[in-house]
Each structure stands twice: as structure tokens, then as C-alpha cells.
């Protein structure tokens, strides 16, 4: 048992060393041209390494655009930040799976095309199904979402596999992962955009929190759910006509349904944990068994080769690479600090207030007045039309009828249309309703929850400026309130601490880099002196 644990530890140590070791331009070229310039039967024995570099690059770029928005309030860069948030976890994860692919007959460019086209096609199909079928409640909605999305993603993945003419299970796994990753990127961008724009001004805190949550969940949801279906399609003979394939498809749908169940608190955490463990375990087992089979067929049974170009401490390149790595790690840590800094509430001029019912919210918005208008009130022909809009040809376009009800004055605007045959006017339901309070007119506003009217109110309360709403599952509502008197003080301790942390990381990385470069210079000088002495 101790020997097994030690072996696993050695493999992990080697994996980490190979990930962060120095890689040459030749290795970058080989990765980018893999599947394009390669001989048939060649195996990929390289440890995954490019994924971590792509992740660090995307996180750094994401932090840069967040800082731009944070300090300039310029929302022009929000779409770029949304895109980077959606891909900074998804794309490196897909590259990691690509680097684990043991053959050299697939190019990463082709995988990315599958991501773009397959993910888009799956999204289109899903939206068609959503437009046809509407779930009557949240529980059935989870079932609909699980089946619709997994079936559409699986269909797109199978088509991609057929077009690419790849029959190996690992190729199927990779193509399925690409489609799932593309689907995840599209969905993540949508969630980030919608939830960060709940207010009239963009909410950077929501953008970051939603982006990070969606990004982390991407490592164990859509990408893997579709990947296991792609693997099963290629693994089982006769493909779709083999009944053994369908339990795997149902497993994918079931994992998705579990993820979307409308439960809360401890139950939600347990479900998420079970979902992650099952999905990751099944995917890891598929990858591991298929990789062993490929390398066993190559007669040596070894998956990875130790790098022959590894540097030791007697070479100046070793210390130069260590210096570059120090800068990269410092940049990465500064990026994380910047993201955390930007996550501090961006629009601190906004506060929140919660209400446990629609009626209490309505009374708050109407400053305690119990006004209620009838949005379906029919046009009353017995009331004279004091206010009407007439076109140039003399035809009436709209009519406003004013009525007194419960001590309030309501004005209803009715759109009108003229029928040539009957030579009569017909009036639709009111398009605009106002109430007059102390000489001021207030327009009726409505909030809908899942297609049903939640609250109907007049914005009479002039002491607060409500800028947005969040409907809660328990029937309550949270409103966002603008505070015009707020003044941001950058000298507050929370800002000072973050600035000091940022500066400390920057200084430490630069000092370390300079020290390691000096060490490299000394090692090089020592080698030069030794060569001269030998001569």
C-alpha cells in the first residue's frame, strides 16, 4: 500500500515538474502542428503543459480588462471581459484533454472548430425545443433542460465524429468534450451578461462572481457530460443500434438533471458533490482505460516519456527559466489580486432591500398608497373622449379615458383601429395607465415571474430610486436602491490592503527575477572560466 502511494506521489511530482519545466519553440511548434504534420501511428508521449500557460494568459488578460472597467467606469469593455470570463476555464480545460489524447492524428484547430460549430448547432437545436415545449413547473423544467441539452449536444458530437471519420473512443471523447465546451462557453457568456446587467449600470461584482462560479463548474459539467457520450458512441460496436450505448446517454442526461434540480441548502451541496464525483470518476475511468489500451498496443505500455531536455542547476538556462517562471507566477498572483480587488462592490452607490411578498413591495413603491389599476379594463363608450390622438387623415389612433376610482384619478390609453367594412372603431386593452397624485402622473409598471404577473405598481415613492429587482424562489423580492449621497473613499483599509498586496507581489516577483538572472549570469561565467581553465 505504501509502495502504491509512493508511486502515485512520484507520478504527481513528475507531472508537476514536466508541466512547469522549460519548453522550447520546437515543442510549441509540434503542439500547434499536431494532426497536420505527423506520421501515421505516432503517439503523443508529452506531459500536458500548454493548458496551464493558456490559463495564466487568459486570467491575466481578464484581470487587465476588469481593471480598465474598474477605474474608468467604461462599460465598452464589458463584452470583452465577459468573453474572457467564459473561456478562461473552458478553453484551457479542453486543451488539457487534447494534450492527454495519445494519438497525433487530431489538430487542436480542428477541435476548436468543433467547439465553435458543434456548440452553436447544439444551442440552436436546444432553443428550438424550448420554443416548442414549455415546462409547467421547476421540477419538470430541470428534466426538460437535462434531456434537451444533452440530446442536442450528443447529436452534434456524433455528427462531428462521423464527419471527422474518427472511430477511436478517445477521439469520440475529445469531440464530445469540444461540443460540450462550446455549449458551455455560449451559456456562460449569457449568464454573466444577464446577471451583471440586472442594474442600469453594469455590476462588476456580479460579473466576476458569476464568471468564476460558471468557470469552475465548467470543469465538471457540460464538457464531461458530452465527452462520455462521445466516448460511448465510438466504444460500443454498431454505435446507435447498440442498446448498451443508451444507458451512458441516460447517465449524461441524469447528471444534468441532478445539477438543475430546484433544491437548496445542504441538499443542493450533496447533489452537486455526488454529481461532480460521478461525472469526473466516469470520465477519468474512460480516459485512463482507453489510454492504457493505446499504449499497451504499442508494446511498451508507457504513457509518458520523461523529458530528455530537462535542465539541471549547473546550466544557466535552468536559472533563466526559473526567473521567467517567477515573473509568470507573480503576474498570475497579481491577476488574482486584481480580480479580487475588482470584485469589491463596483457600484457601491447601490444598496438592497428585501420584501417577503409582492404586496409589501407594491406598498413600498407606492409610498404606502393602496392604488391598483385594471390592466384589462375594457374601453367604456359611455365616457366622452376628452383626449385623443388623430392622424392626418382624421382617423383616431388612441384615446385616453380618465376615471375616478377609490379616491384616485386613473388615465387609460386605448390604442384604436378603424375597420373599413363596418366603418367602426375598435379599441384594444390599455397600452398605458397612469395615476395622478398631488398633480404628478405616475405610470403603471409590471413585473413578471416566469411569464406570470408578479406585481403591478406605480412608482410614487420619491425618496428612493429603485433601479432593479431580483425575484426570490420563496415569493419575495429584492430591490436595488441608488444612494446619491455615497462617496467612494479609496483610502479605506480594504482598498489600502489590496493595493499593498498588489505592490508586494509585484516587488517580490521582480526581485526574485533579478536575483535568478544574476545567478544565471554567475553560473554561465563559472562555466566559461572552467572551459578556459581546461584549455
The 3 state secondary structure assigned to 172-228 is: HHHHHHHHHHHHHHHHHHHHHHHHHCCCCCCCHHHHHHHHHHHHHHHHHCHHHHHHH
Distance CA 182, CA 171 (A): 17
Distance CA 506, CA 515 (A): 14
The strand order across the sheet containing 350-355 reads 350-355, 477-482, 465-471
Residue (of 150, 155, 222, 149) closest to 185 by Cα position? 222
So what's the pLDDT on residue 345? 64
Distance CA 206, CA 218 (A): 18
So what's the pLDDT on residue 525? 84
**Burial label, 93 (beta-carbon count in 10 A; 0-12, 13-18, 19+):** buried
**Per-residue burial over 446-482, b = 16 or more CB atoms within 10 Å of its CB, e = otherwise:** eeeeeeeebbbbbebbeebebbbbebeeeeebebbeb
So what's the pLDDT on residue 39? 59
Distance CA 178, CA 73 (A): 35
Distance CA 112, CA 428 (A): 52
For residues 106 and 175, the answer to whether their CB atoms sit within 8 Å is no
Q: What do you get for the CA distance between the two ends of the chain, in Å?
A: 54
**In degrees rounded to 5, what are phi and psi of residue 275?**
-60, -45
Distance CA 196, CA 91 (A): 22
pLDDT per residue of the chain (535 residues) written in tens, 0 to 9:
444 454 556 778 888 888 888 888 888 988 888 888 665 567 888 889 999 999 999 999 999 999 998 888 788 898 999 999 999 999 999 999 999 999 888 999 999 999 999 999 999 999 999 999 988 888 999 999 999 999 999 999 999 999 998 889 999 999 999 999 999 999 999 999 888 876 555 678 888 988 999 999 989 999 999 999 999 999 988 778 888 899 999 999 999 999 999 887 788 889 999 999 999 999 999 999 999 998 888 766 667 765 555 667 778 888 888 888 999 999 999 999 989 888 876 455 667 788 999 999 999 999 999 898 888 899 888 877 667 877 767 788 889 998 888 788 999 999 998 888 888 888 899 999 999 988 889 999 998 887 788 999 999 988 888 877 778 877 888 887 876 666 666 666 777 888 888 889 999 999 999 999 999 898 888 877 776 676 5
H-run or E-run covering 390: strand 387-390
Q: Is 311 left (phi over 0), alpha (psi -120 to 50) or beta?
A: beta
Here the cell at position 117 is: 460549430
Give Cα 113 distance to the centre of its chain: 19
User: What pTM was computed for the model?
Assistant: 0.76
Distance CA 204, CA 197 (A): 9
For residues 105 and 37, the answer to whether their CB atoms sit within 8 Å is no
**Per-residue burial over 10-49, b = 16 or more CB atoms within 10 Å of its CB, e = otherwise:** eeeeeeeebebbbbeeeeeebbeebbeebeeeebbbbbbb
Distance CA 36, CA 153 (A): 27
**In degrees rounded to 5, what are phi and psi of residue 488?**
-75, 130
CA angle (306 as vertex; 295, 51 as ends), nearest 5: 85
Amino acid at each position: 500500500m505504501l509502495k502504491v502511494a509512493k508511486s502515485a506521489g512520484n507520478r504527481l511530482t513528475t507531472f508537476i515538474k514536466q508541466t512547469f519545466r522549460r519548453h522550447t519553440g520546437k515543442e510549441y511548434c509540434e503542439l500547434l502542428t499536431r494532426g497536420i504534420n505527423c506520421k501515421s501511428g505516432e503517439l503523443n508521449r508529452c506531459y500536458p503543459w500548454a493548458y496551464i500557460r493558456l490559463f495564466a494568459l487568459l486570467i491575466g488578460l481578464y484581470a487587465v480588462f476588469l481593471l480598465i472597467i474598474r477605474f474608468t467606469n467604461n462599460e465598452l469593455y464589458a463584452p470583452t471581459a465577459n468573453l474572457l470570463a467564459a473561456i478562461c476555464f473552458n478553453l484551457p480545460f479542453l486543451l488539457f484533454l487534447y494534450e492527454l489524447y495519445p494519438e497525433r492524428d487530431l489538430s487542436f484547430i480542428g477541435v476548436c472548430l468543433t467547439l465553435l460549430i458543434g456548440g452553436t448547432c447544439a444551442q440552436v437545436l436546444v432553443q428550438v425545443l424550448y420554443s416548442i415545449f414549455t415546462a409547467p413547473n421547476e421540477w419538470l423544467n430541470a428534466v426538460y433542460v437535462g434531456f434537451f441539452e444533452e440530446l442536442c449536444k450528443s447529436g452534434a458530437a456524433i455528427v462531428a465524429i462521423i464527419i471527422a471519420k474518427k472511430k477511436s473512443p478517445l477521439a469520440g471523447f475529445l469531440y464530445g468534450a469540444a461540443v460540450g465546451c462550446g455549449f458551455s462557453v455560449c451559456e456562460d457568456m449569457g449568464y454573466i451578461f444577464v446577471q451583471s446587467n440586472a442594474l442600469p449600470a453594469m455590476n462588476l461584482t456580479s460579473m466576476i462572481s458569476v464568471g468564476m462560479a460558471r468557470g469552475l463548474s465548467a470543469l465538471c459539467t457540460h464538457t464531461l457530460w458530452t465527452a462520455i457520450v462521445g466516448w460511448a458512441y465510438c466504444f460500443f460496436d454498431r454505435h446507435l443500434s447498440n442498446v448498451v450505448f443508451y444507458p451512458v446517454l441516460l447517465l449524461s442526461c441524469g447528471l444534468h438533471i441532478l445539477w438543475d434540480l430546484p433544491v437548496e441548502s445542504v441538499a443542493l451541496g450533496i447533489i452537486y458533490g455526488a454529481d461532480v464525483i460521478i461525472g469526473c470518476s466516469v470520465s477519468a475511468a474512460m480516459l485512463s482505460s482507453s489510454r492504457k489500451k493505446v499504449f499497451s498496443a504499442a508494446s511498451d505500455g508507457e504513457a509518458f516519456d520523461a523529458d530528455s531536455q530537462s535542465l539541471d542547476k549547473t546550466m544557466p538556462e535552468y536559472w533563466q527559466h526559473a526567473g521567467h517562471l517567477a515573473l509568470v507566477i507573480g503576474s498570475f498572483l497579481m491577476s488574482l489580486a486584481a480580480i479580487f480587488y475588482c470584485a469589491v462592490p463596483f457600484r457601491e452607490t447601490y444598496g438592497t432591500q428585501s420584501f417577503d411578498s409582492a404586496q409589501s413591495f407594491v406598498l413600498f413603491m407606492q409610498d404606502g398608497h393602496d392604488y391598483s389599476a385594471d390592466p384589462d379594463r375594457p374601453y367604456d363608450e359611455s365616457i366622452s373622449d376628452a383626449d385623443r390622438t388623430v392622424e392626418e387623415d382624421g382617423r383616431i389612433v388612441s384615446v385616453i379615458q380618465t376615471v375616478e376610482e377609490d379616491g384616485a384619478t386613473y388615465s387609460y390609453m386605448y390604442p384604436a383601429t378603424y375597420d373599413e367594412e363596418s366603418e367602426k372603431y375598435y379599441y384594444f386593452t390599455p397600452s398605458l395607465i397612469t395615476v395622478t397624485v398631488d398633480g404628478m402622473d405616475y405610470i403603471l409598471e409590471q413585473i413578471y415571474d416566469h411569464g406570470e404577473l408578479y406585481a403591478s405598481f406605480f412608482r410614487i415613492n420619491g425618496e428612493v430610486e429603485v433601479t432593479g429587482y431580483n425575484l426570490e424562489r420563496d415569493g419575495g423580492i429584492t430591490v436595488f436602491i441608488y444612494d446619491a449621497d455615497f462617496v467612494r473613499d479609496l483610502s479605506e483599509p480594504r482598498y489600502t490592503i489590496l493595493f499593498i498586496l498588489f505592490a508586494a507581489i509585484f516587488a517580490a516577483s521582480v526581485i526574485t527575477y533579478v536575483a535568478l538572472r544574476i545567478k544565471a549570469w554567475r553560473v554561465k561565467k563559472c562555466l566559461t572560466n572552467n572551459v578556459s581553465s581546461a584549455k
